[in-house]
Amino acid sequence: MKPLFQLTRSSMIWLLVSILMVMIPYVTVVPGWLFLLAVFTVGWRLMVHSGRWSFPHWSVRSALLSLVLVGLLFELRSGSVMVVTVGLLVAAFLLKLTEMYRRRDALVVLYVALLLIVCSFLFFQSIPMTLYSLLSLIVVTACLNTVYRSQQNTDIWRPLKRSAVLYTQALPMMLVLFLIFPRIGPLWQVDMNTGQSFTGLSDSMSPGDVSRLTRSADIAFRARFETALPPENIRYWRGLTYDRFDGRRWTRSEQQGIEQQSGVQSGLAARFNSLRDYRYEIVMEATGQRWRYGLDVPVSYPATVRRLADMTLQGQDPLMQRTQYQLVSRVAPQQDQLSAGRYDRYLQLPERGNEKARQLALQWASEQPDVKAFTAQMMTFFATRFRYTLEPPLLPGSDSVDQFLFQTRQGFCGHFASAGAFLLRAAGVPARVVGGYLGGELNPLDGALTVRQYEAHAWLEYWDRESQSWLRLDPTSVVAPLRLEQPAAQLFSSESSFLADAMLMRKGFLSGALLMQLRLRYEAINYGWHRWVLNFQDRQSDFLQQLLGGISVVKIVLLILITGGLVLLGVAGSLFIRRGPRQDPLVSALKRLDKRLLQLGLQRRSGEPPGQFFARMEQSFPSLSEEFAALSCCYEQISYAENSDPELLAQFRRLMSRCCSLIPQKKSL
C-alpha cells in the first residue's frame, strides 16, 4: 500500500473508537448477529493494518453481503421496517471496512457513521442519548481530522481537542437556530410500526397477550395531576374497547371506530356535577396507534382528539412520536343510550363453541334474573375456584373459554375479563372488554405518575338497563384484590417471568435507597425535559410574536440572518483579535528569552543563528550550560531534522521556562 493512502496509527485508533461509539446505541435495536459481523470486519481490518493479512477476496465480500441480505429479509418477517432499514445501513457501514483501502474509503465509513448517529434519534430521545450523540459527533470529527494527517504526526489527543473546540465554536450558532428557527411539520412521515416496533396494547387481545407485557418495564405514559391524585383502586387508564369475539380473540369492529359519541359529555356533567373532576396532563410515548390513554371517564379532551361511543379517545393520526395533551376525567358510570344495532353488537358471540360456558351462563340467568345478582354470582365463582398468575397454561383449542373456566382455572386479567364478558353476553347482557393500564408509580420529586408496560390491565364493562349506563366490573378485584391496592412490581415480584426483559428493574436491582433515588431523579429530569421540548413550540411562537410584533417569513429570515451574522462575526473576531496571527512555537519561545535577556544586554543579535546564540549563552551563564546545550539540540531536531514529536517540543518549552526563571534580572557586580 502506498504511504500516501496508508492510514496512520492514530487514524485507526480513532476509527475503531468511532465504530464502537456509533454501534453502542443500537445494541437493543438491530439484530444481535450484526455485532458478530462487527467483530469479524473490525478484526480483519486490524490484521490488514498490521500487515498480517491481505484484504478479503471479492468472493468473500460477496458472500458476506449475501448472508447479510438473507438475514435482514428474515428479520423483516417479524421486525420493524425501520429497524431492518437501519440494520442494512449498519451492515453496509461494517462491510465497507473490508475494502477500506484509500483515505476516501475511510471518509465514506465516517460519513455513514454520522448518518447512524442521527438515526439513533429515531429510537431514543432522552437527555443521556443527546449528550452521548454529541460526544460521538466529536469523536467522529476527530477521526475525520486524522485521516489526512502525515505519518510523522503521531499525537493522538490533539485531533480530539480540535474537534471539541470546533463544536464549542458552533454552539452559539446552534442556539440561535434552535431558539429562532420556526418548527415545521415533517415533509413526510416514516411508519415504524409493523406489529413489533412498539411495546404496548394492540387492536386485538387474546388470552396471554396482556400477561406478556409484564416482561417489559418500558414507559407507556406519564401523568401529572393539577389536584390530588386519585386513589390507587380507581386508577383505571382506558386505552381501547374490544366488542367482537371470534371464540378466542377480542377485536374492535369497524363500526366502533366510525360512530361518534353524542350528548354524553353534557349528560355526565349534568348528572354527576357534584362528583370530583381530575384535571391532569399526559405525556404519552409513541405507540404507532391512533388511540390515546386517559383516566375513566374522559369528559374534556383536546380538539385534535375525538371520543368515540365506547369512550375510546382517538387521535387524528397514528402516534409516531411522543406527545402531550390535557384531559379532565370524572369517576362516574357512563350513561349511554344503546341503539338496536349497538345493543346487538355487544351481545355478539360465535354461533358455536364454548358450550359449557353458555350453559353455565343460562343456568345463572335462570337462577338470578337480576343483572347485579348475576354479576355477584359470577364474581363469587371467580373468587373461590381460580388462581391469578402471570404464567397461565396454554389454551390451544378453539373452546378457550371452556378450557379456562372448567380445566386450567389459572389466568391473568385478560383471561378473567374475556371469560366474564362471554358469560354476560351468553346470559343476554351487553358487555365489552376494555384494555388499558391500572396503577402508576408516583415520583415524589415531581409529583408525576409513571405508568409502565408491566401495569397493563384488562377489565370488562356491562350495560345496566336500569341506570342506562355502563358499569365497570373487574374480576381481578376478587381473584387478586391486592392488585388494586399495591404496585404491580410488588405483587408480581415472585413471578419468574415478571420483568424478564428488564433485569435491572427486577427485585434486588435498583431497589436500594441510593439507586432508587438516582432513578427517580433521572426520571424526573427526563420528564421535565420532555415537557419542555413538547411545550417549546408554543413558547417559541409567543416569543417571536412579542419580539417581531407579528410573525412573517420575511421577518424570521431577517432575524436569523442578523443574529446568525452577529454570532459568526463574534466567533471570527475572537479567532483573529484574541489570538492574532499564529506564530511558530520556537520563535515565541525565543522572543520570551530575548525579553528576559534585554535587561542584561545579552539579547539575541540581529542575524545571529540560534546555535551560535545558545553557545554564547553557555559562556554567559556557566551554571545553565547543560540547559542551553539541550535547547540547541532540541531546536536543531525540530527545525532541521523535521522531528514533529510533540514530546520534543514540550521538552524545549520546559527547558526554556527553566532558563528564563534562573537568569538573574540584573547584572552581578
CA dist 162 and 165 (Å) reads 5
321 and 449 inside one domain: yes
- Residue 208 identity (one-letter amino acid): G
Q: Is residue 366 part of a domain?
A: no
Query: Known catalytic residue: 594?
Result: no
Q: pLDDT tens digits, residue range 358-370?
A: 999 999 999 888 8
Q: Is residue 612 part of a domain?
A: yes
Q: Is residue 211 part of a domain?
A: yes
CB 316 within 8 A of CB 304: yes
119 and 209 inside one domain: no
Q: Is residue 478 part of a domain?
A: yes
491 and 614 inside one domain: no
Q: How far is CA 360 from the centre of its chain?
A: 49
333 and 451 inside one domain: yes
CB 139 within 8 A of CB 160: yes
Q: What Cα–Cα distance (Å) separates residue 567 from each residue in 562, 576, 637? A: 9, 15, 42
Q: What count of residues does the chain have?
A: 669
Q: Which is the catalytic residue, given 119, 143, 413, 634?
A: 413
Q: Which residues does the chain have with pLDDT short of 50?
A: 1-5, 187-188, 191-197, 257-274, 508-509, 668-669
pLDDT of residue 288: 81
Query: Known catalytic residue: 474?
Result: yes
Structural domain including 54 reads: 9-149
pLDDT of residue 271: 44
Total structural domains in the chain? 3
Query: Known catalytic residue: 530?
Result: no
CA dist 217 and 503 (Å) reads 9
CA dist 602 and 665 (Å) reads 12
The residue out of 484, 502, 520 marking a domain boundary is 502
The residue out of 486, 502, 518 marking a domain boundary is 502
The DSSP line for 611-652 is: HHHHHHHHHH-GGGHHHHHHHHHHHHHHHTS----HHHHHHH
Residue 306 pairs in a beta bridge with 314
135 and 210 inside one domain: no
594 and 469 inside one domain: no
CB 203 within 8 A of CB 240: yes
255 and 323 inside one domain: yes
CA dist 633 and 7 (Å) reads 31
449 and 305 inside one domain: yes
pLDDT of residue 501: 60
pTM: 0.70
126 and 234 inside one domain: no
252 and 122 inside one domain: no
Q: Is residue 407 part of a domain?
A: no
Rg (C-alpha) for the chain, rounded Å, is 35
Q: Is residue 426 part of a domain?
A: no
CA dist 504 and 510 (Å) reads 6
In terms of Cβ atoms closer than 10 Å to its own Cβ (0-12, 13-18, 19+), residue 611 is middle
Q: Which is the catalytic residue, given 119, 209, 402, 457?
A: 457
78 and 212 inside one domain: no
Q: Which is the catalytic residue, given 243, 399, 402, 474?
A: 474
The residue out of 462, 481, 502 marking a domain boundary is 502
Listed in sequence order, the residues at least 6 apart from 551 whose beta carbon sits closer than 8 Å to its beta carbon are: 182, 541, 544, 545
pLDDT of residue 578: 54
- Strand arrangement of the beta sheet that strand 250-251 belongs to: 204-205, 250-251, 244-245
Q: Is residue 158 part of a domain?
A: no
98 and 214 inside one domain: no
CB 87 within 8 A of CB 34: yes
Nearest alpha carbon to residue 448 among 536, 520, 535, 516: 520
pLDDT of residue 317: 86
Q: Is residue 606 part of a domain?
A: yes
